[in-house]
Structure 1
Amino acid sequence: MAPSSTPGKNQVFIGTFIHAKCLGELEYLHNTAVCVDASGTIVAIEPNCNQQKAVETLYARLGWSLDNVAITVARHELQFFFPGFIDTHVHASQYPNVGVFGKSTLLDWLNKYTFPMEASLSSLSKARRVYTRCIRRTLANGTTTAAYYATIDVKATNLLADLCYSMGQRAFIGRVCMDRLGPEYYLDESPDHAIAATRATVEHIRRIDSNFELVSPIITPRFAPACSSEMLTRLSELQKQTQLPMQTHISENDNEIKLVAELFPDGKSYADVYDTHGILNEKMILAHAVHLTEEEADLVAERKAKIAHCPCSNSALTSGVARVRWLLEKGIQVGLGTDMSGGYSPSILDAARQATIVSNHLIAPGGQLSCASQEERDKAKLSIEEVLYLATKGGAQVLGLADKIGTFEVGMQWDAQLIDLGRVPDDVAEDDYAIHGNLDIFGWETWDERIAKWVFNGDDRNTKKVWVRGRLVHE
């Protein structure tokens, strides 16, 4: 549906609210009212509050008049509000290739599928079709914030920013920079050209969203093999001048790591290449990090760079399994990414599902599953509560938005989704299993069990409404 809003209206949401305030623990707020002002900011959270109590006591305390409040009430006990999902790594320009891997691994896949598709989006009519569907699909799956890679084309990248802004999705828009490795038809002419093109996108986004409140530019070298040393240095200088966030890839694939060593023979490691060029800092989001060494992980932690964990893509392209627990224990902030089209799903809920599953099969560094002790394997496993944290507050930390989104707290912005788990009817004659998708709740489950069922069986059919900064952007 087209985004709608209630200009000038305050809003009250009543029902059950569930969020992950810390790693490994969900907080359940039942029979609660959350008040959101006209700017989309949470201004009050009232426990033991129904609609009548809100009208009688809450509005007066906030100075709100009844005729200027929009009310959303969870219709039954199996509906709840959850923070919007945060996708820390997604290629909007690759969306048409979702599910198309062939028999390729990373580098072959880039040349066969990725570069031709991205280059074709210089056609703005095609780009509009692709980007509109990508944004709608991610919003429908509850993604309120996404860190997007676009293409090297400035006009197509700017179009992605325009569409995110108009459709109401919080987004980071990256004009991709690359002056080698790709085909001749899809390369920056020079580092100077890449810097000028990146600045053009930055200024375009500044014109549509002057303070980058909803849509922000993000400096985007594709990855080290696709960038000359001069390119990385110039992008580092640009980042320091602008203080914009930055995103790239690291240690996704064994052959990629070997290629980095060949192209940057003076580099001690993949992470060191980024560090010596000045782009490994607290503004940097590194996707994948599957094969980081101990020294590299320590360097990433020291520089306070962040990691986007993309379990679906890592499996689909046979890249490996990232050691998320190990990264977290080193103090590295981690979020989840769909990495479409390396990943086949637009859903961060699915990424959370995949994160739990692949953590059960984590290999020891440099070896097979049998190389790890049972204690190490058990420790590596991620719980439901932990992956939901990574999908929300963890992602907010990675994108530098932990003071704005990811949890339900006073002062945070209302980026949220209304989830409907549905219920299997008592009367089998009235059972329409299509209504609530793949999820079957019978009513006797505990809340922990309901949430586990949602993570492993839920999909976009359970996502009934989505808001960003208080604006309804999907229903």
Structure 2
Amino acid sequence: MSSSSSSSSGGGGGGGVARVYRGAFAHSTRDSALRVLTDCVLGVNARGKESEFYTGSVEVRVTNDRHSEFFMPGMVDTHIHASQYAYSGTHLDLPLLDWLNIYTFPLESRYEDLDFAKDAYTKVVKRTLRNGTTTACYFATIHTEASLLLGEITDYFGQRALIGKVCMDLNPMVPEYKELTEESKEETDRFITELLRKKYALVKPIVTPRFAMSCSSALLSNLGKTARNNDLHIQSHISENKQEVQFVKALFPECKSYTDVYVKHGLLTSKTVMAHGCHLTDEELETFHEKGAALSHCPNSNISLISGLLNVRNVLNHKVKLGLGTDVAGGYSSSMLDAIRKAVDTSKALCIQDAQLQPLSYKEAFRLATLGGSEVLSLDDCLGNFEVGKDFDALRVNVGVPGSPIDVFPGDDLEVLLEKFLNLGDDRNIVEVYVAGKRVVPLPDSK
């Protein structure tokens, strides 16, 4: 980031400044969990990239100078099941494996119906955008056409997304919800080919084995080759629940750990994000660091399904890339603000058990939800903060809107306003959302 004084609307970054934004900005950098800038102007060029920060007198076309407003980077949901949004906020009375068999698999089977899929996927994309999620890493279902439809919908509404057609050839509890091994490979290849053929600017495929329990060794190997041959991202689950960990050990006795299953099948790379990791050992975290793989921390789901409490401090100490996920519908909220709050609360709960642990600060949680998420998805070269040259993925937050859940008092500075928003705010406070320089919220009235 650079700062300068200018009297024109020109700027760096190429392409000329198409629009400038004036006011307060809050973001994270590699060196600081939180940096705040007041009374600044950010230029955004015609390609939607941040061109330059200015101070002083400039021609301002879009103004944000109210005391109660600020800009922050868009939030990155590194793990969300778009298909499960249809029952979010319900069915949280069972542990993970029972929950999957009784609620999730029967619901996901309905996505063969494209009318049902269109309704559900439209609702989740609109909801997450209004909640400030500018980038989402989505699980869909095993259905290729419905998964392609999710890509079309995210593109239409302007959300940045990685879309995964779920792969699974093992499901002894609900045998009707699975694929044949060869079918899963072929349909995954078709999904990837067709989604890439659409040439969506912000929507890309991600290789998605559901988790090791639901995939044969042959399928995992095929998916590892697919990801490598196409240089694609990979997502799955790992060590979410102790019972799950024991099942995986029994299924893959030749592997020394859950992590080793993914390593041996070529699925743990620098473009891999694994959800949960509550019960990973230090040795496994070292492997994550060595491979450059990432974890998505989903605290709401971890608590709601009684899966475990991730020791975030230990993950960070092992220098493993870490972001936050809502994990809808295991997590009942589709808001990344909830993920931020639950992450802080989980770290404090662990501190009650071990007084030597250091709790996560709101600033660190803010970083995980923005820049951290971009690092997890290997997209930090183009999003995650307001560094010059990155895409303008941003929220305009107003803590003082009519009906706001936040009260503002004299002397509340930007850091106070940000902390209040992270702890108390909701979608009412997110008055505008931008992705790659394009305003996507407010949503079109007719949609």
Task: Report the TM-score range of the alignment, normalised by the length of the smaller protein.
Answer: over 0.9
Counterpart selection for 2:223 from 216, 235, 243: 235
Measure the CA separation in 1 of the matches of 2:225 and 2:388.
37
SS of the residue corresponding to residue 345 of structure 1 reads coil
SS of the residue corresponding to residue 278 of structure 1 reads coil
Aligned to 1:134: 124
Measure the CA separation in 2 of the matches of 1:194 and 1:48.
58
Q: 1:390: how far off?
A: 0.3
Aligned to 2:4: none
Aligned to 1:311: 299
Q: Is the 8 A contact 1:12 1:35 kept in 2?
A: yes
Aligned to 1:375: 356
Aligned to 1:68: none
**Matched residue type, 2:95:** T
Counterpart selection for 1:469 from 433, 436, 439: 436
Measure the CA separation in 1 of the matches of 2:19 and 2:407.
31
Q: Deviations over 1:102-154 (max 9, x none)?
A: 42000000011111111101111110110000000000011000000000000
SS of the residue corresponding to residue 21 of structure 1 reads coil
Q: Is the 8 A contact 2:326 2:336 kept in 1?
A: yes
Aligned to 1:390: 368
Q: Deviations over 1:381-438 (max 9, x none)?
A: 1001100000000000001110100111210101001000107xxxxxxxxxxx2432
SS of the residue corresponding to residue 417 of structure 1 reads strand
- Structure 2, unpaired ranges of 5+: 1-15, 443-447
Counterpart selection for 1:99 from 89, 92, 107: 89
Q: 1:461: how far off?
A: 0.5
Q: Deviations over 1:65-98 (max 9, x none)?
A: xxxxxx2211511111110000000000000111
Aligned to 2:313: 325
Measure the CA separation in 2 of the matches of 1:103 and 1:274.
30
> Sequence identity of aligned pairs in percent?
41
Counterpart selection for 1:54 from 52, 59, 77: 59
Aligned to 1:180: 170
Instruction: After TM superposition, list the pairs within 5 Å mapping 1:263-274 onto structure 2.
Output: 263-274=251-262
CA 1:45–1:120 in structure 2 vs 1: closer, same or farther (change >3 Å)? same
**Matched residue type, 2:400:** G
SS of the residue corresponding to residue 24 of structure 2 reads strand
Q: Is the 8 A contact 2:298 2:339 kept in 1?
A: yes
Aligned to 1:275: 263
Counterpart selection for 1:164 from 144, 148, 154: 154
Measure the CA separation in 2 of the matches of 1:213 and 1:375.
46
Aligned to 1:445: 412
Query: Is residue 221 from structure 1 mapped to residue 226 from structure 2 by the alignment?
Result: no
Measure the CA separation in 1 of the matches of 2:393 and 2:410.
28
**Matched residue type, 1:350:** D
Q: Deviations over 1:425-474 (max 9, x none)?
A: xxxxxxxxxx2432111233233222221111111110000010111111
Measure the CA separation in 1 of the matches of 2:427 and 2:299.
19
Q: 1:234: how far off?
A: 0.7
Measure the CA separation in 2 of the matches of 1:245 and 1:292.
21
Measure the CA separation in 1 of the matches of 2:384 and 2:278.
25
CA 1:384–1:48 in structure 2 vs 1: closer, same or farther (change >3 Å)? farther
Counterpart selection for 1:414 from 364, 375, 392: 392
Q: 1:224: how far off?
A: 0.2
SS of the residue corresponding to residue 12 of structure 1 reads strand
Aligned to 2:62: 72
Query: Is residue 207 from structure 1 mapped to residue 197 from structure 2 by the alignment?
Result: yes
Q: Is the 8 A contact 2:42 2:52 kept in 1?
A: yes
Aligned to 1:11: 19
Query: Is residue 294 from structure 1 mapped to residue 261 from structure 2 by the alignment?
Result: no
CA 1:327–1:259 in structure 2 vs 1: closer, same or farther (change >3 Å)? same
Measure the CA separation in 1 of the matches of 2:389 and 2:24.
19
SS of the residue corresponding to residue 341 of structure 1 reads coil
Aligned to 2:34: 26
CA 1:280–1:197 in structure 2 vs 1: closer, same or farther (change >3 Å)? same
Larger Rg belongs to: 1
Query: Is residue 401 from structure 1 mapped to residue 391 from structure 2 by the alignment?
Result: no
Q: 1:54: how far off?
A: 2.4
Measure the CA separation in 2 of the matches of 1:351 and 1:345.
8
Aligned to 1:460: 427
Q: 1:296: how far off?
A: 1.1
Measure the CA separation in 2 of the matches of 1:310 and 1:207.
32
Measure the CA separation in 2 of the matches of 1:290 and 1:357.
15
SS of the residue corresponding to residue 322 of structure 1 reads coil
Q: Is the 8 A contact 1:24 1:385 kept in 2?
A: no
Measure the CA separation in 2 of the matches of 1:414 and 1:266.
47
Q: Deviations over 1:37-60 (max 9, x none)?
A: 1111111211234xxx226xxxxx
Q: 1:25: how far off?
A: 3.0
CA 1:345–1:72 in structure 2 vs 1: closer, same or farther (change >3 Å)? same
**Matched residue type, 1:291:** H
Query: Is residue 362 from structure 1 mapped to residue 350 from structure 2 by the alignment?
Result: yes
**Matched residue type, 2:115:** S
Measure the CA separation in 2 of the matches of 1:172 and 1:162.
12
* Range with bigger deviation, 22-31 or 458-467: 22-31
SS of the residue corresponding to residue 48 of structure 2 reads coil
Q: Deviations over 1:206-249 (max 9, x none)?
A: 1222xx64001000000000000111111111111011000000
Q: Is the 8 A contact 2:404 2:428 kept in 1?
A: yes
TM-score (norm 1): 0.87
Q: Is the 8 A contact 1:438 1:457 kept in 2?
A: yes
**Matched residue type, 2:179:** D
Q: Is the 8 A contact 1:23 1:386 kept in 2?
A: no
Query: Is residue 193 from structure 1 mapped to residue 188 from structure 2 by the alignment?
Result: no
**Matched residue type, 2:19:** Q
**Matched residue type, 1:171:** A
TM-score (norm 2): 0.92
Aligned to 1:429: none
Counterpart selection for 1:115 from 85, 105, 110: 105
**Matched residue type, 2:383:** I
